[in-house]
Amino acid sequence: MPTSRSRLPGELLGIKVRAALASFATAAKYGLEFPSGTNIETAAWKDAQVGKDACPQCGKLVETVELLDDQCPWCGWQSAKARRAAQPAVMVMAPIAAAAA
């Protein structure tokens, strides 16, 4: 068995797995230590669960954000908001400024 050559990839994989586990442990540690980070995760998770709407064209359930800001991934329907966003940035800035005022 050519052990010296076949052993190297396994060792590299082991290092990568250990690095991934270490970074995951670090992320979990900081997630527990900083409540604000946990809140963001909870909000994102809530959005992922409830933020869906039926497409007015094909009726399939699509994430509200995607349906309004982009388009329906099933039939390509675009909301008026998405069509406005596709226009030059000057046109997009107006409603944002109005909402901030």
67 binds Zn ion (CB under 5 A): no
Q: Which one among 20, 61, 75, 93 touches Zn ion, defined by CB under 5 A? A: 75
Q: How far apart are CA 74 and CA 58, in angstroms?
A: 8
Q: Output 63 or 92, the one with its CB closest to Zn ion.
A: 63
Angstrom CA distances, 15 to 3, 34, 60, stand at 18, 28, 44
For residue 8, the cross-strand partners are none
Q: How far apart are CA 11 and CA 17, in angstroms?
A: 10
Q: Which one among 18, 57, 69, 94 touches Zn ion, defined by CB under 5 A? A: 57
From its phi and psi, is residue 76 left (phi > 0), alpha (psi between -120 and 50) or beta? left
12 binds Zn ion (CB under 5 A): no
- Shortest reach from residue 73's CB to Zn ion, in Å: 8
30 binds Zn ion (CB under 5 A): no
The residue ranges that bind Zn ion (CB under 5 A) are 55, 57-58, 72, 74-75, 77
